Chain A
Amino acid sequence: MLSVFAQADIPDIQWLPLIPHLVMAGAAVVLLTVVSLAGNRLPGWFASAWTVAAGLGVLATAIPVWLRVDQEGPSSTIAGSIGVDQFSVFIIVVLACTVILTALVADGFLHRESLDAPAFYVLLMLSAAGGITMASANNLIVLFLGLEILSLAVYVLVAMHLRRAESQEAGIKYFVLGAFASAFLLYGIALVYGATGSLNLIDIEGILRGDELGDNGLLLAGMAMLLVGFGFKVAAVPFHAWTPDVYQGAPSPVVSYMAAGVKAAGFAALLRVFFAGFGPVADDWQPVIFGLAIASLAVGSMLAIVQNDVKRILAYSSISHAGFILVGVQAATDDGVASVLFYLAAYAAMAIGSFAVVTVVSGPGDEGTGLDSLRGLATRRPLLAAGFTVLLLSQAGIPFTAGFWAKFEVITAAVDARSFWLAVIAMLAAVVAAFLYLRIVVAMFLDAPDPDAPRLRIPRGPALAITIVVLFTLAFGIYPEPLLNLANDAFLLITFTAPH
């Protein structure tokens, strides 16, 4: 028996690229332990401050990884199951910033709703740790584990408002549909494994490059099932049905994490699997992404117009943003990858800021999320209304905001890849979507406020978070080069080369 262990090869492990993973997951475990031992003796701000510190720690440890990959080129570690490349570092940075900002937004919210604060932060960090694993996984089973760590924590977060029936309803809906989608994803992994004989994305790419497996039924079915699973996570039509209900029912800070973090991790995994793994058979999956993108753009922009709840409007707008990001994915070029990364970073800022405003405005019980709760916000809280306006204009893609460059980049990538129709439809969808954002702005500025409305309290955490994202949106709207350059440098482990 002992000899079996003696023979086992311990794979070579580079520790430096794994430190961001370990910091995020370790911070969650330490917080859980400290809170359960020290209990009530800790000050109320401890858990959120700890989470912000953990996020900053991940940012600090991601920098040396980026610099090292810059010098030595991308590689993989733990027997090729974790990819060490700038693509994953970029997503890790986006996720860490999402965690920091969500912790700030949640700070006032959890006190107001008297929810179990430490559990929220522990689950938030565990979920982000899963997202980091997903973004850097170079092995399909590791990717699945990351996805499940991410999702299981979010299921609990969505259902955690125990006094709101809507929160639990949203939790069970998200759980059942999420488990359904995970099973599809996993079946897809099994079929790809059967077709190629490997779970490692580099090996899969090599096999697909060498062989003519392009019309292999197992491989095609596997790729389709993987797309179902990813489509669910990133809320692409026709796998979007859960999005409005879950966004409306879940606690507002959780939604800001879902819109920014879960979408970023989902798209990162999708890009990695389809660009790095299935790159040689891009002709097979590009048309499917094309269809998903058009459906998401159309459904997201059209159905948002008829909603009367701000969270539902933002949910449909997140579906239409998923459509725009898919436009960049469909291009299947290196420029496409860069445009998707830029879009994810810009959208994370806009989404967190928007849902932070909703968190503040919704008031006790997280109830006031109707469009009328925003009426006259400009007279009640002029600065908050101004900040929200900047974020909404950025979502609409108005020049001098980061959202404009995000849309510009994905559409440019689509045009360069000669997907002219997709580019035209994306521009039309942007025009239609602009209307729904203006509807919110009109409610804030032109409608008279409800005279009986109580005075709106803005806690320090959300105020800081909204300030940061508004400054981010304006700064990279006016001068996008630094972020664009980073996104352009963020290559995948395997440099993608289209087969045409």
Chain B
Amino acid sequence: MVTASWYLILAAGLFTIGAVGLLVRRNPLIMFMCVELMLNAVNLTFITFGRELGDIGGQVSVFFVLVVAAAEVVVGLAIVVAINRRRPQATADDLSALRG
């Protein structure tokens, strides 16, 4: 019997993988994928709670999160494209003009 807590634990695991990946990986595209993974882990959490509580609010929230995630990727990719025009193949480590 798969209970709600299994889904919650899976979501927590996915969220952790995303968070750790974002901190560890240096390629901007992989970092975006990690953000997506974190957001989708939240979506799974919302759906699970919505079903457990018998409340439509959790599922409706997922739609909003999907829209936000799409908008976020558009902006992020635009910034990456702008950087890549200037210096191709840049990783997060190459961006180090700002420090002090």
Residues of A within 8 A of B (CB): 141, 144-145, 148, 152, 155-156, 159, 162, 165-166, 168-173, 175-176, 179-180, 182-184, 186-187, 189-191, 193-194, 197-199, 244-245, 248-249, 307-309, 312
- Report the bound CA distance from A433 to B11 in whole Å: 44
When distances are taken between beta carbons in the complex, the residues of chain B under 8 Å from A170 are 98
A309 near B100 with CB under 8 A, answer yes
Instruction: Give 13 A-B pairs besides A141-B57, A141-B61, A172-B28 with Cβ atoms closer than 8 angstroms.
Output: A148-B71, A148-B72, A152-B75, A156-B78, A165-B86, A166-B97, A169-B83, A169-B98, A180-B19, A183-B42, A186-B65, A194-B45, A198-B57
SS of B interface (majority): helix
* 16 sampled A-B residue pairs with Cβ under 8 A: A141-B64, A152-B75, A159-B79, A166-B98, A168-B79, A171-B79, A179-B32, A179-B76, A183-B15, A183-B35, A183-B39, A187-B42, A194-B48, A197-B53, A245-B98, A309-B100
- Listed residue (A156, A166, A175) with the most chain B CB atoms within 10 angstroms of its CB: A175
Q: Given A155-B79, A307-B100, are A169 and B95 neighbors across the interface (CB < 8 Å)?
A: yes
Interface pair B97/A187, CB less than 8 Å apart? no
B68 sits at the interface (CB 8 A): yes
Whether B83 contacts A172 by the Cβ 8 Å rule is yes
Q: Which residues of A contact B78 (CB under 8 A)?
A: 156
On whether the beta carbons of A199 and B57 are closer than 8 Å, the reply is yes
What is the chain B residue whose CB lies nearest that of A148?
B68
Q: Is the CB of A190 within 8 A of B45?
A: yes
Chain B residues contacting A166 (CB-CB under 8 Å) are 97-98
Contact B100 A179 (CB under 8 A): no
With both beta carbons as reference points, the residue of chain A lying nearest to B38 in the complex is identified as: A183
Q: Is A244 a contact partner of B38 (Cβ separation < 8 A)?
A: no
The answer to whether A186 and B39 have CB atoms under 8 Å apart is yes
- Complex Cα–Cα for A351 and B41 (A): 38
Give the docked Cα–Cα distance between A423 and B71 (Å): 42
- Chain A residues, Cβ within 8 Å of B68: 144-145, 148, 182
Bound-state Cα–Cα, A170 to B22, Å? 17
Per the bound structure, the CA–CA distance linking A187 and B39 in Å amounts to 8
Ranked nearest first, the 4 interchain pairs of A and B with the lowest CB-CB distance are A183-B38, A194-B49, A245-B98, A190-B45
- Is B82 interfacial (CB-CB < 8 Å)? yes
What per-residue 1/0 map shows which CB atoms of B36-56 lie under 8 Å from chain A? 001101100110110011010
Interface readout for B66-78 with A: 1 if CB under 8 Å, 0 if not? 0010011001101
Q: Quote the shortest CB–CB distance from A97 to chain B (angstroms).
A: 27
Smallest Cβ-Cβ distance to A249: which chain B residue: B98
The minimal Cβ–Cβ distance linking B29 to chain A, given in whole angstroms, is 11
A248 to B71, CA, bound (A): 26
Flag if A175 contacts B55 (CB, 8 Å). no
Tell me how far the C-beta of A124 lies from the nearest C-beta in chain B, rounded to whole angstroms.
15
In the complex, which of the residues A155, A166, A171, A244 has the most CB atoms of chain B within 10 Å of its own CB atom?
A171
A186 near B95 with CB under 8 A, answer no
Least CB separation from A244: chain B residue:
B100
Q: B42 and A176: CB pair below 8 A? A: no
Beyond A159-B79, A166-B98, A172-B79, whether A180 also contacts B22 by CB under 8 A is yes
Asked whether A175 lies within 8 Å of B75 as measured between CB atoms, the reply is yes
CB distance from B57 to the nearest CB of A (A): 5
Decide yes or no whether B80 CB sits under 8 A from chain A.
yes
B95–A172 touching, CB < 8 Å: yes
Chain B residues near A249: list those with CB within 8 A.
97-98
Residue on A with the closest CB to B37? A183
Q: Most chain-B Cβ atoms within 10 A of its Cβ — which of A145, A170, A194?
A: A194
Q: Mark B8-33, 1 if CB is under 8 A from A, else 0.
A: 10000001001100100000100110
How near does chain A come to B38, taking the closest CB pair, in angstroms? Answer: 4
A159 to B98, CA, bound (A): 14
- B72 contacts A179, C-beta separation under 8 Å: yes
Q: Which residues of B contact A190 (CB under 8 A)?
A: 42, 45-46, 49, 58, 61
Of the candidates B8, B31, B82, the one whose C-beta lies within 8 Å of that of A176 is B31
Residues of A within 8 A of B8 (CB): 194
Residue of B nearest to A153 (CB): B75
Partner of A168, one of B22, B39, B82: B82
| Distance A166 CA – B97 CA, assembled complex (angstroms) | 6
Distance in Å from the Cβ of A309 to the closest Cβ of chain B? 7
B69–chain A nearest beta-carbon distance, Å: 9
CB atoms of B82 and A308 under 8 A apart: no
A245 and B99 contact, Cβ closer than 8 Å, known pairs A155-B75, A175-B76, A179-B35: yes
Which residue of B58, B80, B99, B100 contacts A193 across the interface (Cβ within 8 Å)? Answer: B58
Chain A residue with the shortest CB-CB distance to B43:
A190
Within 8 Å CB of B87, what residues of A?
Answer: 165
Q: Is the CB of B57 within 8 A of A193?
A: yes
Given A144-B64, A168-B83, A183-B42, check contact A248 B28 (CB 8 Å).
Answer: no
Contacts of B61 in A (CB 8 A): 141, 189-190, 193, 199
Q: Is the CB of B82 within 8 A of A193?
A: no
Give A198 to B50 CA distance when docked, in angstroms. Answer: 10
A277 shortest CB reach to chain B, Å: 15
Expressed in whole angstroms, the minimum distance between the Cβ of A465 and any Cβ of chain B is 26
User: Are the C-beta atoms of B35 and A180 separated by less than 8 Å?
Assistant: yes
Inter-chain CA distance A180–B60, complex, in Å, is 22
Query: Complex formed: what's the CA distance from A145 to B100 in Å?
Result: 34
A202 to B39, CA, bound (A): 26
Residues of B within 8 A of A152 (CB): 71-72, 75
Closest to B44 in A: A190
Residues of chain A contacted by B96 (CB below 8 angstroms): 169
